[in-house]
Structure 1
Amino acid sequence: MCDIGDQDDLFRYTSGRWLINEKYQLEQRFVKFNVNNLCSQAASLFGPKARCIRIAKMGGNFNKAFLLTMNDGNEVIAKIPCPNSGTPVLTTTSEVATLKFLRSRISIRVPEVYAWKSDPTNPVGAEYIIMEKIRGVPLAERWETMNTLERYQIIDRIVEMEKELLSLKFPAYGSLFLQDSLPSEYRRCPLPTDLDPTGLFYIGPSCSRAHKASFDISNSNIGPWTSILDFALSIPHRELALVANNREKVQHHLTHFSEDQSADEYCDLLQKVLLVLPALSRHPQVLARAGSTIWHTDLHLGNIYVSTDDPTTIEGVIDWQSAQAAPLFIQAQFPEFLRPPKDYSPGTEIPALPDNFDELDPDERVRATKEQTLAAQSKYYEMFCLAYNKPVYDAMELDRRLWEPFTCCQLFSHGSLVPLRNALIRLSQDWDLLGLPGRCPFEFTEEDIKRHNGQVQQYECAINTRE
């Protein structure tokens, strides 16, 4: 008999609390399923005499993850998506395809899929994936005790993995799927034979969590897209459709940040984005960095597994859910565990301690030393990309005024329009300097900018409080 413990505890999120809207947040992370049937399905993978004797809950913000142990010592990971994980059915289907595709195409190990169901009417009562448990331990358990050279060896290996990912050239933007895994109403784009000689995969609709609202509205405008302009235009169109269908909800979200924000202003800003995206999408620097690439965009220390004997040996990388083929200039970024501190300066300048370091109090010295160490690691990653993965370095160096309008349309969790408005103000002010054709199709008044600057202070305070 499997040692289950309190079943309700397996269904609930128990890793944290929320100060705001906690009931909703918990509902988005609650999944009820048949525990015994999940354990039986996992045990059946190892023969008729195998049985699951233990199920241990693991962390996860978008999924329930469990370590299942069999009576013969075998272990597997079972993963069940939460309501907030992405589009039902498609997110699981695409994750399976992505894992199967990458296993034979990059040298770092990704989990092998043993069994899966994307139809929640199966005996488990929920979508699930049963997959390989990657050997080793999370890098989070070793990072703090590793010396600088050992950490740099990990960074070397991550850059090598990203170089392998970059070599996979996709013909469209969207998510990976296995053949015959989608209903016929969804569009799909086959992969070239050099990338998929057996014809097992194709690019289908995007399963990015940002596109979930689009599926709630219709099956149109969700990809795949074969041009950067079509991909770009889908983003503001998706948000405009969301406002049209859920105006009251969107207004409530906006008001939560500031009473001065309105759904009308949000729509006006999105219309401005639609006006500038054609020019941005034709800009030579954007086009040069717009290749369709699959990337791991949540590369934190918990998703990298290393050897128990040698922490510089990466055993595997997990959590490829919602990975999609998207423009490189959107994908390429510092890995989460190497994200630089606020005052980081890109380029060849070596990060140093502040000039007044000796005058700081002990707590300030500790903080300054920690930030300098993080900045040095970020700098090593940046320079290693410059030397060995230049397209990624170039994508990260793209002027943010050119790429921000592609990424700021979605209404963020804080509910502020500041990032989107700020991107458009900067673009309108520097249109000629950026080499864009003609004149910017809109202007902001002095009163608009004054009001915006006041909200910037409120926004920065809110972000600092969250951090």
Structure 2
Amino acid sequence: MLWNQASASQAPGRWLSTRRRDPQHLAARYCEFNLDNLLVAANQLTGYKGVSKCVKGQYNKGFVLTMDNGEQIVARLPNPNVGPAFFTTASEVASRHFMPGPRVLGHSGPAHLCLVYRQVEPRYSLGSIWARMCRSSQFVIIDQVVEIEGKLASVLFPMQGCLYYTSDLKSNIPEAEGLDITPSKPSGLKIELCRQLSCFAIGPSNDRKLWNSERNLRKLDRGPWTSPIHYVTALGTNELNWARHHAKPRMNYYRSTETPENLNEDILNIARNLVPKQACCEYDYINTLSYPDLHLDNIFHRP
């Protein structure tokens, strides 16, 4: 059965400045799902005895499931506006392998691509307590963040894109290959880390800018990209592809007389000059893990 429509819809907030587009915004946050299937998937992990809604995010809907042993886990389902549901979910699961935080108990399944986390003890976002913390405590947290960033930057990848488990990526892209981790890789890479990385693959970017609106229907180069030049030219080619099929003129008397196609072609003509032909040092063209949305409200402190 489907839970009531309010559970699948965006309830709080409206877009006053664009009232006529309100249905469009609501549709982007409408996620129809089968609650029974979600509960079946959770029950396969461990028995449950209750379920309740939790606060809805901008891109996801969440439910708190109370298990037979009293513990609670969170089931999260992506809204349409999150971007490509499969790639977003699969990449987040793989990336969390390297990050401290709630353990992923399961993902995907008949309930619609969902993430299920174990809920940890009470914690606070740094944004709510940072101003009240003493300087020494702030330095301790900064050191911890730098340590985590250092670990992420210590692993080098041969391509730019998003990280996935090879098994997940192959289910969508059969020809996908895992990372070729061999002794010829950077000397600092330990044998155990090589073993762990062998089950990962670099796949397409899940950046919403490459998937939103009509772009979702077009065959674009979303990666992985093998070099900075490949990346720059791919973005320009993607925009040229979109402009030729979907660009619309705007009522702007000061706009350029050039068409979008002309501007994108100019960018492609100079793209190879935007990136140095030779790296100045060994660290110029490296691909490492990074977290693009790191701010105080996304860092949690365990009291």
Per the shorter chain, which TM-score range?
0.7 to 0.9
Shift of residue 35, structure 1, vs aligned partner: 2.1
Cα distance between partner residues in 1 of 2:256 and 2:55: 40
What letter corresponds to residue 195 of structure 2 in structure 1? P
Q: Does 1:76 align with 2:65?
A: no
Instruction: Name the CA shift for 1:188/1:245 in 2 (closer, same or farther; >3 Å).
Output: farther
Shift of residue 92, structure 1, vs aligned partner: 1.6
> Which residue of structure 2 lines up, in the alignment, with residue 192 of structure 1?
181
Instruction: Name the CA shift for 1:153/1:77 in 2 (closer, same or farther; >3 Å).
Output: same
Instruction: Name the CA shift for 1:45/1:299 in 2 (closer, same or farther; >3 Å).
Output: same
Shift of residue 71, structure 1, vs aligned partner: 4.4
Cα distance between partner residues in 1 of 2:207 and 2:257: 24
| Alignment match of 1:148 (pick from 135, 138, 141) | 135
- Alpha-carbon displacement from aligned partner over 1:84-118 (angstroms, at most 9, x marks no partner): 11223222222222223x15xxxxx1332211116
Cα distance between partner residues in 2 of 1:286 and 1:58: 47
> Which residue of structure 1 lines up, in the alignment, with residue 186 of structure 2?
none
Matches within 5 A, 1:454-465: none
Runs of 5+ consecutive residues of structure 2 not aligned to the other structure? 183-188
Matches within 5 A, 1:30-109: 30-46=30-46, 50-100=47-97, 102-103=98-99, 109=100
* Aligned partners of 1:172 and 1:189 also within 8 Å: no
Runs of 5+ consecutive residues of structure 1 not aligned to the other structure? 104-108, 309-467
> Which residue of structure 2 lines up, in the alignment, with residue 386 of structure 1?
none
What letter corresponds to residue 66 of structure 1 in structure 2? F
Shift of residue 138, structure 1, vs aligned partner: 2.5
Cα distance between partner residues in 1 of 2:292 and 2:261: 28
Shift of residue 42, structure 1, vs aligned partner: 1.9
> Which residue of structure 1 lines up, in the alignment, with residue 24 of structure 2?
24
Q: Does 1:290 align with 2:288?
A: no
Cα distance between partner residues in 2 of 1:51 and 1:262: 61
Instruction: Name the CA shift for 1:151/1:202 in 2 (closer, same or farther; >3 Å).
Output: same
Matches within 5 A, 1:394-413: none
Identity, in percent, stands at: 26
Instruction: Name the CA shift for 1:73/1:259 in 2 (closer, same or farther; >3 Å).
Output: farther
Matches within 5 A, 1:270-419: 270-282=264-276, 284=279, 288-308=283-303
> Which residue of structure 1 lines up, in the alignment, with residue 208 of structure 2?
209
Cα distance between partner residues in 2 of 1:264 and 1:161: 46
Instruction: Name the CA shift for 1:210/1:192 in 2 (closer, same or farther; >3 Å).
Output: farther
| Alignment match of 1:177 (pick from 138, 150, 164) | 164
Over 6 Å off, 4+ runs: none
Rg (Cα) greater in structure: 1
- Alpha-carbon displacement from aligned partner over 1:29-77 (angstroms, at most 9, x marks no partner): 110112233234223322xxx3241323223212223332234321112
> Which residue of structure 2 lines up, in the alignment, with residue 381 of structure 1?
none
> Which residue of structure 2 lines up, in the alignment, with residue 459 of structure 1?
none
> Which residue of structure 2 lines up, in the alignment, with residue 424 of structure 1?
none
Shift of residue 217, structure 1, vs aligned partner: 0.6
Cα distance between partner residues in 2 of 1:28 and 1:54: 25
Cα distance between partner residues in 2 of 1:133 and 1:286: 44
Cα distance between partner residues in 2 of 1:8 and 1:300: 33
SS of match in other structure, 1:296? coil
RMSD of equivalent CA atoms: 2.8
Instruction: Name the CA shift for 1:30/1:261 in 2 (closer, same or farther; >3 Å).
Output: farther
Cα distance between partner residues in 2 of 1:295 and 1:144: 26
What letter corresponds to residue 205 of structure 1 in structure 2? P
- Alpha-carbon displacement from aligned partner over 1:345-378 (angstroms, at most 9, x marks no partner): xxxxxxxxxxxxxxxxxxxxxxxxxxxxxxxxxx
Cα distance between partner residues in 2 of 1:206 and 1:264: 30
> Which residue of structure 2 lines up, in the alignment, with residue 131 of structure 1?
117
TM-score by length of 1: 0.55
Cα distance between partner residues in 2 of 1:200 and 1:156: 30
Higher relative contact order (CA 8 A, sep 6+): 2
What letter corresponds to residue 206 of structure 1 in structure 2? S
Q: Does 1:111 align with 2:102?
A: yes
Cα distance between partner residues in 2 of 1:97 and 1:56: 26
Point out the more displaced range, 151-160 or 187-196. 187-196
What letter corresponds to residue 169 of structure 1 in structure 2? L
SS of match in other structure, 1:202? strand
> Which residue of structure 2 lines up, in the alignment, with residue 13 of structure 1?
10
Instruction: Name the CA shift for 1:155/1:261 in 2 (closer, same or farther; >3 Å).
Output: farther
> Which residue of structure 1 lines up, in the alignment, with residue 242 of structure 2?
242
Shift of residue 297, structure 1, vs aligned partner: 1.0
SS of match in other structure, 1:76? strand
* Paired residue total: 283
TM-score by length of 2: 0.81
Instruction: Name the CA shift for 1:259/1:9 in 2 (closer, same or farther; >3 Å).
Output: farther
> Which residue of structure 1 lines up, in the alignment, with residue 185 of structure 2?
none
SS of match in other structure, 1:66? strand
SS of match in other structure, 1:197? helix
Shift of residue 203, structure 1, vs aligned partner: 0.8
